[in-house]
Amino acid sequence: MSDFPIEPWQVREHGLDLDRLARSESVFALSNGHIGLRGNLDEGEPFGIPGTYLNSFYELRPLPYAEVAYGYPESSQTVANVTNGKLIRLLVNDSPFDVRYGRLLEHERVLDFRAGTLTRYADWESPAGHRVRVRSTRLVSLTQRAIAAIEYSVEAVDGPVRLVVQSELVANEPTPTRSGDPRVAAALDHPLDAIAQEVRDDGATLVHRTRVSGLLMAASMNHLVEAPGPVNVDTSSADHWARTTFVCTLAPGQRLRLVKLLAYGWSGLRSESALCDQVAAALTRARHTGFDGLRAEQRSYLDDYWAGADVVVEGDPQLQQSVRFALFHVLQAAARAERRCLPAKGLTGPGYDGHTFWDTEAYLLPMLVFVQPHTVADALRWRHSTLDLARERAAALGLRGAAFPWRTIRGQECSGYWPAGTAAFHVNADIAAAVALYRAVTGDETLEAEAGLELLAETSRLWMSLGHHDSDGVWHITGVTGPDEYTAIINDNLFTNLAAAHNLRDAADAAQRHPDRARDLGITPAEIAAWRAAAEAVHVPYDGRLRVHQQSEGFTRLPEWDFDASREKYPLLLHAPYFDLYRKQVVKQADLLLAQYWFGHLFDDDDKARNVDYYERRTVRDSSLSAAIQAVTAAEVGHLGLAYDYTYEAAQIDLLDIDHNSGDGLHIASLAGVWTALVAGFGGLRHRDGVLCLAPQLPVGIHRLAFTVRWRGMRLGVDIDPQRVTYTLHDGPDGPDATLSLRHNGRTVTVSTAEPAVETLIRRRPLLPRPAQPPGRRPRAHRSWLDQPAS
Amino acid sequence: MSDFPIEPWQVREHGLDLDRLARSESVFALSNGHIGLRGNLDEGEPFGIPGTYLNSFYELRPLPYAEVAYGYPESSQTVANVTNGKLIRLLVNDSPFDVRYGRLLEHERVLDFRAGTLTRYADWESPAGHRVRVRSTRLVSLTQRAIAAIEYSVEAVDGPVRLVVQSELVANEPTPTRSGDPRVAAALDHPLDAIAQEVRDDGATLVHRTRVSGLLMAASMNHLVEAPGPVNVDTSSADHWARTTFVCTLAPGQRLRLVKLLAYGWSGLRSESALCDQVAAALTRARHTGFDGLRAEQRSYLDDYWAGADVVVEGDPQLQQSVRFALFHVLQAAARAERRCLPAKGLTGPGYDGHTFWDTEAYLLPMLVFVQPHTVADALRWRHSTLDLARERAAALGLRGAAFPWRTIRGQECSGYWPAGTAAFHVNADIAAAVALYRAVTGDETLEAEAGLELLAETSRLWMSLGHHDSDGVWHITGVTGPDEYTAIINDNLFTNLAAAHNLRDAADAAQRHPDRARDLGITPAEIAAWRAAAEAVHVPYDGRLRVHQQSEGFTRLPEWDFDASREKYPLLLHAPYFDLYRKQVVKQADLLLAQYWFGHLFDDDDKARNVDYYERRTVRDSSLSAAIQAVTAAEVGHLGLAYDYTYEAAQIDLLDIDHNSGDGLHIASLAGVWTALVAGFGGLRHRDGVLCLAPQLPVGIHRLAFTVRWRGMRLGVDIDPQRVTYTLHDGPDGPDATLSLRHNGRTVTVSTAEPAVETLIRRRPLLPRPAQPPGRRPRAHRSWLDQPAS
C-alpha cells in the first residue's frame, strides 16, 4: 500500500520514513531534462542517495571482462553526481538541524504537478528544546533551462533563536556503495577535479572537470535574504565546496527567508571562462525574474502542458493520481533535454548508470509525440547527432549503415554483455519507428528531411547487412536478441523482423518523398528496391499446430519453464542462469505482444486472442517495460479487467516501489506506459495510413476516461463513459477552425472544432477466457491494494 | 620452416634465437605430469616466460564482469609459477655467464625422446675474454615423481678461471606481463608467502603458501660437487630464495661437475613439517639412486613406453620426428599426473591459466588408452574425485546430476564467458565417452565399478534435465554450445545430441552390469528405461534438401560467412564479434565432423562424403583441436592427400609455432591428435561392439606406417606399406600366447602371437573431389614447407 495519500494533483508525504529515503528522493526528484535534483533533504543528511545530475555529463569507467573478445566496449559512461547546490544547512542555537536528533513534531513534503515544485514543512525541536518551523520550496525551472531555485524559511516558535544558515555548493559528495545487483549502477568515487572557484559576497561559483572524460562543469549560486533584524553574510570556498553563511537572531514568530538561485552549465568544448560567463548570465536573468517570477513561469508552462496532456480517470482516484504523477515525471525527463539523451531513469537517480536504452524511442517518444511533440523532434535529433558513432560501431561489427548503442549517454556503446546488448539490434528499428511516428502524428516534414531520412537509410543499411534471403527468397534475421531478455541470440525474432521490415519500408517511402536528399545520401533506386523486397519477404514465424505466432523461430517448441518451482524466485535473473532462461519458454517482458501492438494490422483477431492467451501464461514481467504493453494487448482482445490490473501495476511501479529499486531512480518508460495503457489500451488509439484510429472501451471500475492528444497541430479530446464516446476538436493547425476525420472502431467519423462527435460505446467480448499468468505473477489487482491496510 | 634439424628421436636447437625463447622453453619443457620445468636457461636469463609448475598447485584470482549475472564463477584458478629450482648461475672471473654478453661461440640444446633429458652445451667467452664450456643435462624423473635433477659442468678452455656457481631456489620470480589476447593466461604477481626456510650445508628447503588459495608447497635442493681442486661451499637463504654457492679455480681442461637434486611437494591439507619430511624423503631416495641411476631409470621407463607406443613413418622424416615429439610430450603430460588433471598445455606453460578442458577426455585419453592405459584410469579417477563439485554446479544451474566444469584446475568452474563455457555441456558426455572407451579398450571392469558407473549415471541425470521430449516424442537438447566455438547457444547440436545419447546408453548398460552398485547410486529400472528411451528418440538434424547433416538444427540455413572478406583476418575471433560468428555458417573447429568420427556407424558413406565436403568449406581451424579430426574424416572418405596435410599441420603446431602462441605452452591435444590422425586416420582404427577395427590406407609420400596399440592386455603391431598390412600380436593378457580377432576393412581377421596376419591394402576412392577450404585456410602442405628456405 502506498504511504502517499490519494490526491489528484500531487504526491504528499506525511511524516518521514528514514528507511525509504531513497525511494522518496526519486519520487520527489525535480528535473527539467537538463538539470536533475533528487529529493534530498535541504540539509543533505540523512540521505538514501545524494544526487544532482546534468544531462549527458558523465564520467568514464572501465568495463572489465573475465574473458575479453573482439568488439567489447572498453569503458562505460556513468552519470556523474555533480556539485550539490541543493544544500542548505541550519544551526539552531548551535544544534544542527537534523531530523534524526531532537523531536520532529511534523514533517510533510508535497510534489505539486501543476506548480512544478517540491515543498517541505518541518516542525522541529532541537535536542536543547529550541523549536523552529522550516519551510522550503524547490523548483527546477522548465522555462530557464540552467536554473534551479529554492525558497527557504525558518521561523522561531516558542522562544528566541540564534540561527546560522549555511547555503552550500559541494562537489564529490560521498555516495553509498551500491549492492551487487547487476542492475544497480556502479558508484563513482570523487570524479571531479577542482578547476576554479569564484567567491562573491552573496554567492560563489565552482568549476570542476571530470577526471577521465574531461568534461567541464560550473555551478553557481547567489542569494537573497530577508529577515526582521540584521543578518551577517559571509562567503568562503575551497576546492570542493563554497559556502554562504547567514547569521541572525529571531524572536518567536519571526522568520528568516532565503532565496537561493542556482545555475548549472557544462561543456566538453568550451573554456572555463566561457562556462563561468554562461552560468553568470543565467543567474543574472533568474535574479531579474525573481523567485516568484520563476514560480509563475513554472505554473504557466505546466498549465499549457496539462491542457494538452491531462488524462482524467473517474472512479479510481489512485489511478488518477498515478497517471498524473507519470505524466509529470515524463515531462520532467524530456522538457528541456534539447538534443541530449532521455535516460531510462530520467535525471532522478543513478540507476542503469544513467543510460539511455531503447525505452526512449519505444516507450517515451510514442507518448510524448501526442502530448509534447517538440521533445520528440529534439530526442531524434540527438540520435542523429550520434550517427557517426553509430556508423563506426556498425563498421567495427562488420556491418553496414549505423548500429546505435544498446545503452549509452553520449552515443558510444556501453553494454558489457553483448547477448543482451549489442545483439539487441532492434533498438535501431525502434529509432526508425519513432522517426516515422513523429511525421505521422505531427505532419511535420522538416525533421524527416533534415535528420529522419538519414536515420531511416542508415538503419536500413544495417538491416540489409544483418538480414539475408534464403534459397526460397524469404528474408531472415539470424542471431539477434529481441525485446525479451530471457531469450537471446535467436533467429527470426518476430518483433525484430517486423520492425526491420517497417524500417526498410519507411526508409524507402521517405527516400521517394525526398529524392534530392536521398541522392545526397547515396540512396539509389536499386537500394530502395532491395529495401522493399526484403520487407515484403520478411519471415513471420508461426506455429501452425498451435495456431500462435512464435516469438522467434522455434520458440513454441522449446521446453517449458518450471514456473511452480520458481514461484518464490523473482526476478528470475537473480535465481537462474541465463543459460536456462534462454533455452526455455519463459518471457521476461512483452516481445511478441509488443509486435502485436505495434504491427496489429498484420495479425488477425483470432491469432491476437490466441497469442495473448499463449504469451500471458509464459510472461513473468521481470522488466518494468512489460505491464503497460500487456495492458494494451489484453484490452485489445477484450480482457479489460486484466488490462486494468496491468495498467495499475505500471502506474504504481514507483509510488509502491513494486520492483524494490525505485530508489535508484524512477522507471520513466513504465510511467510513460501508464498513458499508453490508458490511451492505446482502453482508448484503442492507433494510427494507420495517416489516419488516427480509436476503439474505446472502459473496464469495470472506471466510469470516465478522458484524454487529449495532439494530432497534426490540433488537439483532440476523447471523453469515454460507459455509454458513449465524445470526440472534441480544440484547435487546428492554422487557426481556431479545423476538421478531423478519424476512425472509431474502424468506421470514419468526422469531428470539427465547431461540433463534437458522439459515438456509442460497444463493449468488446473476449474470444477466450481471461488467461492465467505464471504462478505468483498475476498482476496485483488494485482492489486488493485499496482494501489493504498501510504496510 | 622449422629451425630444428630433422632427426628421428630428438629435437635439436643449434644456436640460440633470443626472439623465440618462449617457444623453445615450451618445446624443451620437461615434465612427468606432476612437476613441469620450462626449458629456461640454467642461468635464468634471458627468458621468454620463466616457469616451474606443480600439477594442481594454483592461486585464485577474481573473475571480473562488466555485468554480473546469476551463476557466474567469482574466481578462477590459475597455475602458479612455483619456486624455481632450475637456477644455476655462474660467474667466470667476476663476469656473470649471460649469453647476451661476451661471445657465444657455440650453443646447442637437445631434447632426447628416448633418454627423457634436455641437454645443453654452451661454449662461451666472457666479455673479459675468459672461455668456458658449460654442459648441463636436466631431467624430471618419470620414476621418482617428486624429483628433478640437473647435472651441470663447467670446463675451463684457454686459461685458468676462477668460478663461482650459485645454485638457487627462487620464489616469486617476476613474470612478464602478457598480451591482451583472451587466450593468453593472466599473469600472477608474487603469489607465494614465505612460511619457512631450512638451510643445510649442501642445500636448502623453502616452504611457501599461496596467498589466496592457501596451498602449501615445499622445494628442496641438495648438491654433489666434483672438482679437481678444493671447492668452497656455502648455503644461505631468505624469505624467497635459498642459494648454495660453490667457489673454485680450474686450470685449462679441468672441469667442475655439479649434480643438483630437486624435490617438490605440495598439499592443501598436510602440515608444513609433514611436507618438509616428504620432500626430504624424496631427496634422500634420489640421492641414493644418484644422477646416473635416475638417468638409467628414465631411459628404461621410456624404452618400455616406446615399445608399446612408437609410430614409424617412412618417407617423411619430418613427420617421423614430429609424431615422436608428440608422443613424448603427451606422455610427459600424463605419466605421473596420478589422479590430478591433465591441462590443455600439460605443465609446459601458463597458457589458458593452466586449465584442463574437454581436450583431456576427447583428445588425450582416446590416444593414451591405446599406449599408456593406466594414465587414463588415473585421469578419470581425478574427474570422479571432483564429482561433488560437479553436483553442486549442476544444482546451482538448476540441473540434476553432475555438471563438470568447462575449464578448471581443481574441479570448480573457472569459465568467465558462459556461452563458450558453461553452455558447452558436451564436456560431460566426453567424460562419459572416455569411461566407456577405457573399458572397451582395456577390458578392465574395476574402474567402471569404482568410479565409472557413478560418472555415467550422474552425467546421464544431467542430460535428462537438459533434454526434453517434444510432443512427438523426439528428444531434444536446447540452448547449448557444441565443440565449434563459433556457434553457440543453439538447439540440437548434433555432436552433443549423439554424445548425450551414448552417455545415456552407456550408463544404462553399465548399471545393468553392476546392479548392486547401481542400487547404491539410486538408479532405478525406471530411470534406466528413461535413459534408453531418450537415447533412442534423440534428434539428429539433417538437411534433406542438401543431403548433409546439420551441425545444429537449422545450421545449413544460416547465412554464409564472407570468407573472401576475412582472408587476412585469422583467427577470426580477433577480428569479428562473436555476434557475427555465431549467426553464420562459419566453423571454428571440427564439430559435425568430430561426431562423424566418433559415431561413424550412424552415418552412411555417402552422407559422410557429403558432410566432409560441406563442412570442409566452412571450417577455418581457428582451434588447434581441429586439424587432427579433419585428417581422420578426410582419410575416411578417401581424401588421403588432404588428410596428410592436416596430419602435418597438427604435427607441426608447436615445432613450427603455427598459431604463434606455443610460447605459452604446447598444444597437448593437437599433439595427441597427430597419433589420432595417423592411427585412426590412415590406420582406420575404430572399435565397435568390443571388436577392434582397422581400415588402413597410405597417402602418397608415406611408404610405411607402423604402429603398436595396446588392446586388452595385448600389444598389436600394425605395419602398413603400399601393398599390404601386417598384423602382429606381441604378447597376451595372461602370458606370451594369445589370439585376437579383429576387423580389417570390415572383414574378420585372426592374428596370434604365433602367426602374423597379412592383408592386402585396397586403395579407397573418394566419392567426391577434394574439397576446398575457406580462402587462405588450406592446410599448408608439407611439401612446400620442405621446399621453403628457413625463415
- Higher pLDDT: A344 or B737? It is A344
The predicted pLDDT at position A782 comes to: 64
Extract the C-alpha cell encoding B650. Answer: 597438427
Tens-place pLDDT, residues A112-131? 999 999 999 999 999 999 99
Closest partner CB to B573 (pick from A64, A70, A417): A70
Using pLDDT thresholds of 50, 70 and 90, give the confidence band for residue B262.
very high
Tens-place pLDDT, residues B625-648? 999 999 999 999 999 999 999 999
Distance of CA B255 to the CA centre of its chain: 39
Contacts of A579 in chain B (CB under 8 A): 71, 397, 418, 422-423, 479, 489
The predicted pLDDT at position A783 comes to: 55
The predicted pLDDT at position B179 comes to: 44
Can you tell me the mean pLDDT for B693-722? 96
Contacts of A583 in chain B (CB under 8 A): 478-480, 489, 491
Tens-place pLDDT, residues B302-334? 999 999 999 999 999 999 999 999 999 999 999
A653 — contact with chain B (CB < 8 Å)? no
Query: Looking at the predicted structure, is the pLDDT value of residue A6 above 80?
Result: yes
Query: Looking at the predicted structure, is the pLDDT value of residue B130 above 50?
Result: yes
Query: Looking at the predicted structure, is the pLDDT value of residue B1 above 80?
Result: no
Can you tell me the mean pLDDT for A219-223? 97
- Which residue of chain B has the CA closest to A62? B66
B67 — contact with chain A (CB < 8 Å)? yes
Query: Looking at the predicted structure, is the pLDDT value of residue A109 above 90?
Result: yes
Tens-place pLDDT, residues A80-100? 999 999 999 999 999 999 999
The predicted pLDDT at position A185 comes to: 42
Place of cell 559512461: A77
Contacts of B61 in chain A (CB under 8 A): none
Whether A182 and B480 lie within 8 Å, measured CB to CB: no
Nearest to residue A263, comparing CAs of A341, A193, A207, A339? A207
E strand or H helix that includes residue B193: strand B192-200
Tens-place pLDDT, residues B470-510? 999 999 999 999 999 999 999 999 999 999 999 999 999 99
The predicted pLDDT at position B789 comes to: 40
% of chain B residues with pLDDT over 90: 93
Nearest to residue B402, comparing CAs of B470, B341, B453? B453
- Distance from the B398 Cα atom to the nearest Cα atom in chain A, whole angstroms: 7
Whether A478 and B578 lie within 8 Å, measured CB to CB: no
Whether A66 and B63 lie within 8 Å, measured CB to CB: yes
Contacts of A552 in chain B (CB under 8 A): none
A485 included as an active-site residue: yes
Whether B418 and A579 lie within 8 Å, measured CB to CB: yes
- Distance from the A583 Cα atom to the nearest Cα atom in chain B, whole angstroms: 5
What distance in Å separates the CA atoms of residue A179 and residue A175, rounded to the nearest whole number?
12
Q: How many CA atoms are closer than 13 Å to the CA of B194, on its beta-carbon side?
A: 15
Nearest to residue B559, comparing CAs of A143, A465, A187? A465
Using pLDDT thresholds of 50, 70 and 90, give the confidence band for residue A734.
confident
Q: Where are the beta strands (DSSP E) in B126-172?
A: 131-140, 147-156, 161-170
A10 — contact with chain B (CB < 8 Å)? no
Query: Looking at the predicted structure, is the pLDDT value of residue B177 above 70?
Result: no
A66 — contact with chain B (CB < 8 Å)? yes
Whether B480 and A583 lie within 8 Å, measured CB to CB: yes
The predicted pLDDT at position B427 comes to: 98
What distance in Å separates the CA atoms of residue A188 and residue A174, rounded to the nearest whole number?
9
What distance in Å separates the CA atoms of residue A531 and residue B299, rounded to the nearest whole number?
72
Reduced 3-state DSSP string for A733-773: CCCCCCEEEEEECCEEEEEECCCCEEEECCCCCCCCCCCCC
The predicted pLDDT at position B189 comes to: 76
- Asked whether the beta carbons of A2 and A14 are under 8 A apart, the reply is no
**Active-site residue identified among B151, B413, B485, B527:** B485
B71 — contact with chain A (CB < 8 Å)? yes
Can you tell me the mean pLDDT for A481-491? 97
Nearest to residue B121, comparing CAs of B15, B250, B248? B15
Average of per-residue pLDDT values in chain B = 95
- Asked whether the beta carbons of B706 and B719 are under 8 A apart, the reply is yes
What distance in Å separates the CA atoms of residue A316 and residue B276, rounded to the nearest whole number?
80
The predicted pLDDT at position B496 comes to: 98
- Asked whether the beta carbons of B498 and B476 are under 8 A apart, the reply is no
**Active-site residue identified among A173, A297, A413, A485:** A485
What distance in Å separates the CA atoms of residue A746 and residue A762, rounded to the nearest whole number?
12
Whether A182 and B559 lie within 8 Å, measured CB to CB: no
Whether B417 and A580 lie within 8 Å, measured CB to CB: no
What distance in Å separates the CA atoms of residue B123 and residue B112, rounded to the nearest whole number?
21
- Distance from the A663 Cα atom to the nearest Cα atom in chain B, whole angstroms: 20
- Which residue of chain B has the CA closest to A467? B559
Query: Looking at the predicted structure, is the pLDDT value of residue A175 above 90?
Result: no
What distance in Å separates the CA atoms of residue A50 and residue A42, rounded to the nearest whole number?
11
Nearest to residue B89, comparing CAs of B257, B245, B248, B264? B245
B473 — contact with chain A (CB < 8 Å)? no
Can you tell me the mean pLDDT for B399-406? 98
Reduced 3-state DSSP string for B12-81: EEECCCHHHHHHHHHHCCEECCCEEECCCCCCCCCCCCCCEEECCCEEEEECCCCCCCCCCCCEEEEECC
Phi, psi at A29, each rounded to 5°: -65, 145
What distance in Å separates the CA atoms of residue A631 and residue A638, rounded to the nearest whole number?
11
Pairing of strands B311-314, B161-170: unpaired
- Asked whether the beta carbons of B443 and B712 are under 8 A apart, the reply is yes
DSSP characters for B487-524?
A: S-SBS--HHHHHHHHHHHHHHHHHHHH-HHHHHHTT--
What distance in Å separates the CA atoms of residue A747 and residue B393, rounded to the nearest whole number?
60
Using pLDDT thresholds of 50, 70 and 90, give the confidence band for residue B2.
low
DSSP characters for A655-703?
A: TTTTTS-GGG---HHHHHHHHHIIIIIIS--EEETTEEEE-----TT--
What distance in Å separates the CA atoms of residue A512 and residue A518, rounded to the nearest whole number?
8
Using pLDDT thresholds of 50, 70 and 90, give the confidence band for residue A189.
confident
Using pLDDT thresholds of 50, 70 and 90, give the confidence band for residue A176.
confident
Query: Looking at the predicted structure, is the pLDDT value of residue A431 above 80?
Result: yes
Whether A578 and B398 lie within 8 Å, measured CB to CB: no
Tens-place pLDDT, residues A574-621? 999 999 999 999 999 999 999 999 999 999 999 999 999 999 999 999
Three-state SS for A126?
coil
Where does A244-362 have alpha helices with state H? 272-309, 317-334, 359
Question: For residue B393, what are the CA distances in angstroms to B79, B402, B488, B521?
Answer: 22, 7, 20, 19
Query: Looking at the predicted structure, is the pLDDT value of residue B788 above 60?
Result: no
A491 — contact with chain B (CB < 8 Å)? yes
Q: ipTM score of the complex?
A: 0.92
Contacts of B76 in chain A (CB under 8 A): 66
Extract the C-alpha cell encoding A296. Answer: 509563475
Extract the C-alpha cell encoding B263. Answer: 624435490
Whether A64 and B68 lie within 8 Å, measured CB to CB: no
Extract the C-alpha cell encoding B360. Answer: 583431456
DSSP A343: -
Q: Which of B579, B580, B585, B588 to mutate to test the interface with A (most CBs of A within 10 A)?
A: B579
Query: Looking at the predicted structure, is the pLDDT value of residue B44 above 80?
Result: yes
What distance in Å separates the CA atoms of residue B124 and residue B99, rounded to the nearest whole number?
8
The predicted pLDDT at position B783 comes to: 55
- Asked whether the beta carbons of B648 and B781 are under 8 A apart, the reply is yes
- Which residue of chain A has the CA closest to B582? A479
Of chain A residues 532-571, which have a CB less than 8 A from chain B? Answer: 553-554, 557-559
What distance in Å separates the CA atoms of residue A594 and residue A597, rounded to the nearest whole number?
5
The predicted pLDDT at position B176 comes to: 77
B103 — contact with chain A (CB < 8 Å)? no
- Which residue of chain A has the CA closest to B546? A471
Nearest to residue B613, comparing CAs of B637, B579, B591, B645? B637
- Which residue of chain B has the CA closest to A471? B557
pTM of structure = 0.94
What distance in Å separates the CA atoms of residue A299 and residue A305, rounded to the nearest whole number?
10
Tens-place pLDDT, residues A31-80? 999 999 999 999 999 999 999 999 999 999 889 899 999 999 999 999 99
Using pLDDT thresholds of 50, 70 and 90, give the confidence band for residue A225.
very high
Tens-place pLDDT, residues A378-427? 999 999 999 999 999 999 999 999 999 999 999 999 999 999 999 999 99
- Distance from the B466 Cα atom to the nearest Cα atom in chain A, whole angstroms: 9
Of chain A residues 763-782, which have a CB less than 8 A from chain B? Answer: none
- Higher pLDDT: A632 or A732? It is A632
Whether A63 and B66 lie within 8 Å, measured CB to CB: yes
Using pLDDT thresholds of 50, 70 and 90, give the confidence band for residue A786.
very low
The residues near B576 (Cβ < 8 Å, ≥ 6 apart) are A70, A71, A398, B566, B569
The predicted pLDDT at position B508 comes to: 98
Q: Which of B178, B583, B588 to mutate to test the interface with A (most CBs of A within 10 A)?
A: B583
Can you tell me the mean pLDDT for B718-739? 91
- Distance from the A208 Cα atom to the nearest Cα atom in chain B, whole angstroms: 28
% of chain B residues with pLDDT over 70: 97
Distance of CA B646 to the CA centre of its chain: 18
Contacts of B65 in chain A (CB under 8 A): 64-66, 416-417
Of chain B residues 378-397, which have a CB less than 8 A from chain A? Answer: 396-397
Average of per-residue pLDDT values in chain A = 95
